[in-house]
Amino acid sequence: MATFDAEAIAAAFGKYLKRKNLKVTAERLNILAEALATEGHFEADDLLVILRKKNRKTSRATIYRTLVILAEGGFLRKICLGDRAAQFEKSTGQPRHDHLICLGCGTKFEFVLPELPDLQDRLCRQFGFAKSDYCFQIFGLCADCAAAKNE
């Protein structure tokens, strides 16, 4: 796993907030710090639990709003993993990746498809579409669940 400079990211986040005419608050910085410290996928409620355990007071609404701001600014990635609540993951220190999601057991397989950005760009040019983000998920059954279903 690649390392990243949390202080530099916090400074960049502060500048981003100011450009958007948003306040730099302790709550937002705490949410950023915990999001960066969290490995893998997480939901807003996961951060709420962590922050409450550390006696850092913040509301669920502030967490949700801040996660959206962090995703819009490119500090986190918002991902859709089926019918669950939106999940997030760090966008720093790891390559952009996509997911295969098993509808049987819920296992998530991460993969990197190097040609996907070029394909997206070609499609956007073809249709005169200005892409702001994307979410590429494939839903189905993993090998174990498919085998169990066929037994």
Instruction: Identify the CATH homologous superfamily for domain 95-151.
Output: Ferric-uptake regulator, C-terminal dimerisarion domain (3.30.1490.190)
Q: In this model, does residue 2 exceed pLDDT 50?
A: no
The least confident of 9-13, 80-84, 113-117 is 80-84
- Model pLDDT, residue 1: 38
Question: Domain residue spans in the chain?
Answer: 1-92, 95-151
Q: In this model, does residue 111 exceed pLDDT 70?
A: yes
Q: In this model, does residue 3 exceed pLDDT 60?
A: no
pTM of the model: 0.74
Q: In this model, does residue 7 exceed pLDDT 80?
A: yes
Q: Mean pLDDT, the chain, as a whole number? A: 87
> How far out from the chain centre does Cα 15 lie?
21
Same fold, 1-92 and 95-151: no
Q: In this model, does residue 112 exceed pLDDT 50?
A: yes
CA distance 125 to 113: 20
pLDDT, average across residues 4-25: 91
Give 95 or 8, the one with higher predicted confidence.
Answer: 8
Pick the CATH number of 1-92 from 3.20.20.80, 1.10.10.10, 2.60.40.3950, 3.30.1280.10: 1.10.10.10
- Model pLDDT, residue 83: 64
- Model pLDDT, residue 82: 64
Handedness of CA 143, 144, 146, 151 (dihedral sign): positive
Q: In this model, does residue 98 exceed pLDDT 60?
A: yes
Q: In this model, does residue 61 exceed pLDDT 80?
A: yes
* Interior angle at CA 14, CA 94 and CA 38, nearest 5: 35
pLDDT, average across residues 31-43: 90
- Model pLDDT, residue 93: 64
Half-sphere exposure of 26 (CA within 13 A, CB side): 4
